[in-house]
Amino acid sequence: MPAHVSAFGPGRVNLIGEHTDYNGGLALPFAISHGVTVRAAARDDRCISAFAADIDERDEFSLEAVSPADGWRAFVRGAAGELDRAGVALTGASLEIAGNVPRGAGLSSSAALEVALVLALLSVADAPEPDRIELAKLCSRVENEWVGAQTGLLDQIASLCGSADRALLIDFSKLDVQPVALELGDYRLVTLDSGEEHTHAGGGYNERRAECAAAASQLGVDSLSDATLSMIERLPEPLSLRARHVITENERVRSAVQALDGREMEELGRLLDASHASLRDCYEVSTRAVEDAVDRCKRAGACGARIMGGGFGGSVLALLAPGSAPPDGAVEVRPGPGARVEAA
Ligand code: GLA
């Protein structure tokens, strides 16, 4: 049994394909170099102790009966609880958690934390690592059932399956993941925090998800990605608007893959703008602070900028044309490798 391990879960950027994951659609995310590290040491009892170094808070619980908790503790207990439910023979562990993904900024600090926790607990228990898509599903159950956010699989798959210099084309109808070269030439991708913290466990995200389920059920399709624009005319608002976003966003993901393939960066920028307009006008997840951040990126010379992640605040993603200076506070992002474990 390794005495000490260090597991890293990266955050993610989603180039395009927003709110498509829980609708059986397409997305094009990549893992980034910012993330969460969990250092773990085995204990010889059946207890997990956790120290959140960035906020100087602690938790301790017994593996005999893992009870729910709030805030960051929900993730730790959920990771242990879901691994136990999956039949993994966990051992006691002492965990130290530290991260550099800004929380609530739409870069998926939550998935980074789940992924790092689950990999650390598996490794310290000397348990074999399951298939990474299965692991993504387990991490998403942590978020759905322990944290209370009905999020999809986008963030967990991006964090677990990321690959340097590549984005991932994910087809959520089959959970198929294809790497796509992300060669931007002299263009740069940056994120800019709107300054407005978002939370998925808050109402807006779960409400959108419920609206999509209602729209699919009224149309008699398994998921909105099986619907067509002509079908959705019979839906009442706002369901027709939500469905329009999903159907057109899937199309934009396909076009973005083609634009990358042809190195057509201005076209990629146009698709980011169109995605933003749809998220603002049809999905209605933008806010004043987000619109201001998009405007700042455009004024700085972005050929495309859009809200990223669940919405209702968080970060904006912008594609900057060669020679343009990023707005103050923007952070350049590049695809990095997926989650990993090392001996510590
Ligand atoms: C959040 C969720 C994801 C996904 C995006 C929107 O990041 O965690 O599952 O739904 O929002 O694309």
Give me the pLDDT at residue 202, please.
64
Give me the pLDDT at residue 296, please.
98
Task: Tell me if 152 CB under 6 Å of ligand 1.
Answer: yes
Give me the pLDDT at residue 101, please.
84
- Best mutation site among 19, 22, 212 for ligand 1, i.e. most ligand atoms within 8 A of its Cβ? 19
Query: Of 344, 340, 15, which Cα lies nearest the Cα of 167?
Result: 15
Q: pTM for this structure? A: 0.96
CB 181 within 8 A of CB 166: yes
Q: Whose CA is nearest to atom 2 of ligand 1?
A: 151
Task: Tell me if 309 CB under 6 Å of ligand 1.
Answer: yes
CB 5 within 8 A of CB 120: yes
Give me the pLDDT at residue 211, please.
98
Give me the pLDDT at residue 106, please.
77
Q: Whose CA is nearest to atom 9 of ligand 1?
A: 152
Give me the pLDDT at residue 200, please.
63
pLDDT, one tens digit for every residue, the chain (344 residues): 456 999 999 999 999 999 999 999 999 999 999 999 999 999 999 999 999 999 999 999 999 999 999 999 999 999 999 999 999 999 999 999 999 886 666 789 999 999 999 999 999 999 999 999 999 999 999 999 999 989 999 999 999 999 999 999 999 999 999 999 999 999 999 999 999 987 665 679 999 999 999 999 999 999 999 999 999 999 999 999 999 999 999 999 999 999 999 999 999 999 999 999 999 999 999 999 999 999 999 999 999 999 999 999 999 999 999 999 999 999 999 999 999 999 88
Give me the pLDDT at residue 147, please.
94
Those residues with Cβ within 8 angstroms of residue 144's Cβ, 6 or more apart along the chain or in another chain: 150, 151
Structure tokens at 214: 């209602």
CB 310 within 8 A of CB 106: yes
Catalytic residue numbers, as ranges: 155
How many whole angstroms separate alpha carbon 100 and alpha carbon 163? 19
How many whole angstroms separate alpha carbon 252 and alpha carbon 264? 14
Ligand 1 centroid vs 92 CA: distance in angstroms? 32
Task: Tell me if 151 CB under 6 Å of ligand 1.
Answer: yes
Q: Where are the alpha helices (DSSP H) in the chain?
A: 71-85, 109-124, 132-141, 154-161, 203-219, 239-261, 265-281, 288-299
